[in-house]
Amino acid sequence: MSTKMITLPQGLTFDFRNLLHEQGVTPRDIDHLQDKIDAAHREIQTLRETGFIPHHCSKDGSPEDVLFTQLPYLDRGHDHLNTTETVQQLITWGESLKNQVDTVVSLGIGGSFLGNKVLFDLQCGEFWNELTPAERGGRPKYYFSGNNVDPAHTSQLAEHLQRDARITPDYHVLLQIISKSGSTMETMACFFVLQQKLKEANIKTTVVAVTDPRDDEKETILHKMAVKNGWQIFRVPDGVGGRFSVFSDVGLVTGAALGFDIHAFLQGARDADQQTQAADPFENMALLNAVLKYLAYVKYGRNIEVFMPYSNTLKSLAEWYIQLLAESLGKKYDRAGNVVHYGRTPIVAVGTTDMHAQVQQHQEGTLDKVVQFVRVEQWNPDPVIPNPYPEFPAFNAFTNISMSQGLDAALAANAEAQISAGRLNATFTLPQLNAYYVGQIMYILALSVAYEGALANVDAFNQPGVEAYKTIMKTKLKPEN
């Protein structure tokens, strides 16, 4: 074990040298926290084994298991969680779309959108929808909607689909609705508008529902709609909040449609789970990440976390993490009912883009931030920057090197400048940008907030603040008499 970083056997590393040092979080701080660390470890081990978290209830007040740690595994015996059969069903369904469905529109918000966008960006990239069907291997174009009640975006998307239909014979659109309840206003409003616009244009439309699969007295609206209309149904599992659901059908349905390597993604998460079981935080990457961020916050006032991947592709990972951190740890009450107003404010940044936008504040602004960098070690392709204008010496500093060398130099310079000014930061390094390593880091981040919830004694798995605005919004949506 290095005193500066933890490296998993497959190569993913957590470099914490700029967080744990005599001018930052100190080894003595960790020693003084040992009893809480031990208790948090025991709590999460119990969670892994049984799904039990102290004092956790569903929004209706009934006790609820927390089962996200089971998702990377197949055939664990829990209803509605992943099995060999259900994963294969997803893959088979995704294959059936090839050369049959021209466009998929995924409709969801929060955890039904953010994790899916990570998988799309990793698998497809920014220009996917501009490729020909042959270049996409017969896979459909893919758009996201239902994540805002935005009249302009929804109308523009409908017009775009209608335009595609005019130039594509037998044009076929699949609307993929992801909602546990089926009553989420943003998602269903966009679905209704798009479905109507497609119908008016006589465009062939298929619907898939990803929702709570129960068919008892608690059957959801969306499940009833799907059964009545004969739509394909995939499952939103019990005991898995939206921000943890990317490893379930909720996220994997997007992966399946696009040919994403679901098995590698789950294997990455599974290996991460196996390699984060130790009670010693210096042998448990997820636990150490939680301990250091917790101490940086409660002892040193670092109440903002900037999540800054050095990759445009991973911007959506940062956006997913924003929800994970904000909803999990931003809590008014602790589990004993005391008012604590716990939680860091998360911020998305992208390197090097935001070195020219946010870093002035990170470097010299209020001393209230911890910056979490994410780096990719090996890029493919990795172009060498040419020097077509050698008569200008200013270009010599960054030409005739690979683009990744420029990216790494920028990250290292940013980290070093920050630590010289008393700014705390840490770096995750992914050996490659692929399904396996993204599965690892997403699982480690999810587990880290679970550990930190235990350290802070807050419920990392509820979201009462969200329920508060939803209750008020319902009254505002009612037409006036």
Catalytic residue among 56, 327, 369, 452: 327
Q: Which residues contact 258 (CB under 8 A, 6 or more apart)?
A: 94, 119, 120, 123, 124, 139, 142
Cα–Cα separations (whole angstroms), residue 396 to 20, 290, 406, 411? 36, 42, 12, 20
Over the range 215-236, which residues count as b (16 or more CB within 10 Å of their CB) and which as e?
eeeeebebbebbeeeebbbbbb
Residue 211, token pair as written in the block: 């929702």
Q: Is 315 an active-site residue?
A: no
Beta strands 424-432 and 13-15, pairing class: antiparallel
**Cα–Cα distance between 477 and 52 in angstroms, integer?**
37
Instruction: Give the alpha-carbon dihedral of 18, 19, 24, 25, to 10 degrees.
Output: -150
Instruction: Give the alpha-carbon dihedral of 87, 90, 95, 99, to 10 degrees.
Output: -170
Q: Is 470 an active-site residue?
A: yes
Q: Is 49 an active-site residue?
A: no
Over the range 160-176, which residues count as b (16 or more CB within 10 Å of their CB) and which as e?
ebbebbeeeeebbbbbb
**Cα–Cα distance between 104 and 82 in angstroms, integer?**
23
Burial class (CB in 10 A: 0-12, 13-18, 19+), 477: exposed
First-to-last CA distance in the chain?
Answer: 68
Burial class (CB in 10 A: 0-12, 13-18, 19+), 411: buried
**Cα–Cα distance between 324 and 118 in angstroms, integer?**
13
Catalytic residue among 59, 299, 470, 474: 470
Reply yes or no: is the peptide bond before residue 151 cis, omega within 30 of 0: no
Residue 36 dihedral angles phi and psi, to the nearest 5°: -65, -40
Catalytic residue among 218, 228, 341, 356: 356
Identify which of 247, 198, 220 has the alpha carbon closest to the alpha carbon of residue 442.
247
Which amino acids are annotated catalytic?
327, 356, 470
